[in-house]
Copies of this chain bind each other. A is one copy, B any other.
Amino acid sequence: ENFPLIFERSKPGRKAYSLPVLDVPDVELSTVVPDGYQRKEMAALPEISEVDLVRHYTGLSTRNHGVDSGFYPLGSCTMKYNPKRNELAARLTGFSQIHPLQPTETVQGALTLLYRLQNHLSEITGMDAVSLQPAAGAAGEWTGLMMIRAYHEARGEKRTRVIVPDSAHGTNPASAAVAGFTTITIPSNERGGVDLEALRDALGNDTAALMLTNPSTLGLFEEDIVEIADLVHRAGGLLYYDGANANAILGQTRPGDMGFDVVHLNLHKTFTTPHGGGGPGAGPVGVKRDLIPYLPVPRIVLREDNLYDLSFDAKASIGKVKGFYGNFGILVRAYAYILTMGPVGLKRVSEDAVLNANYLMKRLSEAYDVAFERICKHEFVLSGRTLKKNGVKTLDVAKRILDFGYHPPTIYFPLNVEEAMMIEPTETESKETLDAFVEVMLQIAKEAEETPEIVKNAPHQTVINRLDETQAARAPVLRYRKPTVL
């Protein structure tokens, strides 16, 4: 039976809403709304009682898997536990019910928090200044690249190319494009790192930047990072650090110390803010001293009278990149997390994230091909190519995993590994959870060998089985329409 759409629960005349009675003189619409501007047909919003609404969304929620439902080793997404205390913190009335345009004297607490968070993120990344504005990782990339562009332009240099490794997230080249750059993709070497020869070839006086995720999406630390930084800088380019994988390096090394000039962090990955089913996130961006003039406005500053303020005074700034000051509610959560962990805790995060990943990789290597045989960082990539002999694809393995109450790994990414499965356990998982997951993965490998149909027809335990994605794309149905009654 189909789970009804909220529109299918609607009944004309039913009402849940509750509003104060209008206590000022009512207005005659025709006297205040220009002719032809009164809405003729009301939007077909559902008409539903409160309990039916609550049951609808509660029911939908139970048809969804979150971190609180079970292990979620989705590579590159850092699906950590989202602390409940941070949810409370963000909902404090003094944070949730303040208007962004209140006089700054009346929001000193909020500005203090933002100022301190900027400083903490600077310290964590080894950068000189941070802007908290970008709403997501991709927005951070774009902001960073716009600053790199401004930097080169200010120096009178015409640098139009951004270099990215083939293992990069799609957002890297896309962000380069929307920041007005063209992209050069360079291959990885046999150890999964940047191919230095290819890099040297790609570098030139049109090089604006190299974008690097380190550790990479293969979960591998770029061992040649010092040399790479040197090469890029000598070519006149800048280094951009994609912080998607920063969970692996907290307190172990810092992008700033590695030679990066610009960095973004995904607070919804490394700093435990919830993913929200696809957002909101936050992608603060940090820069070295030379790039400070280009940071977006407004900046959060401490005035000489010890009050915090918003500063719009930055002639070289790339301007505004988002409404107001960033996803404040997310920033509160990240600040709460940093206060909770402290320097010792954050270092422990990277230790256990890496420990868990290596442990899992080692144990899974019994039945799956490990893409690169070396110590990994917070994640690693398996290849499902060995299962193919019985026609079992990585997709099938992923679907079979669903039957055991886990979210599967990221699949078919990175692009440079055949039948890739990218697994990131995070430090918030216990050894028991990893062990139980290993048992399932070994069982699936065995099934792929012995009873491949079970895997190929998976999932069997979910509320719905495999969906026809081709039909979805070929004849898109992107909204509900009320059936016409004949």
Interface, chain A (partner B; CB < 8 A): 9, 11, 14, 18, 49-52, 54-55, 58-59, 62, 67-70, 81, 83-84, 340, 428-430, 432-433
Contact = CB atoms under 8 A, between A and B. Distances in A.
A81 B50 contact: yes
A54 to B, nearest CB: 5
Given A58-B68, A58-B69, A62-B62, A432 B11 contact: yes
Contacts of A54: 68, 81, 84
A267 to B, nearest CB: 18
A69 B81 contact: no
A433 B54 CA distance: 14
B428 A51 contact: yes
Given A55-B68, A55-B70, A58-B68, A83 B428 contact: no
Given A14-B430, A50-B81, 6 more contacts: A9-B432, A18-B340, A51-B68, A51-B429, A55-B68, A59-B69
Contacts of A58: 68-69
Contact of A49 (B52, B62, B67, B430): B430
14 contacts: A9-B432, A14-B430, A50-B81, A50-B83, A51-B67, A51-B68, A51-B81, A54-B68, A54-B81, A54-B84, A55-B69, A58-B68, A58-B69, A62-B62
A172 B12 CA distance: 44
Given A68-B58, A69-B58, A430 B52 contact: yes
Contacts of A83: 50
* Copies of this chain, whole number: 2
Contacts of A62: 62
Contacts of A428: 49, 51
A209 to B, nearest CB: 37
Contacts of A49: 428, 430
Contacts of A52: 430, 433
B11 A430 contact: yes
Contacts of A433: 52
A68 B51 CA distance: 7
A358 to B, nearest CB: 20
Nearest to A48: B430
Nearest to A54: B68
Contacts of A67: 51
Contacts of A69: 55, 58-59
A84 B67 CA distance: 24
A81 B48 CA distance: 14
A113 B59 CA distance: 35
Nearest to A92: B93
Contacts of A51: 67-68, 81, 428-429
A105 B51 CA distance: 39
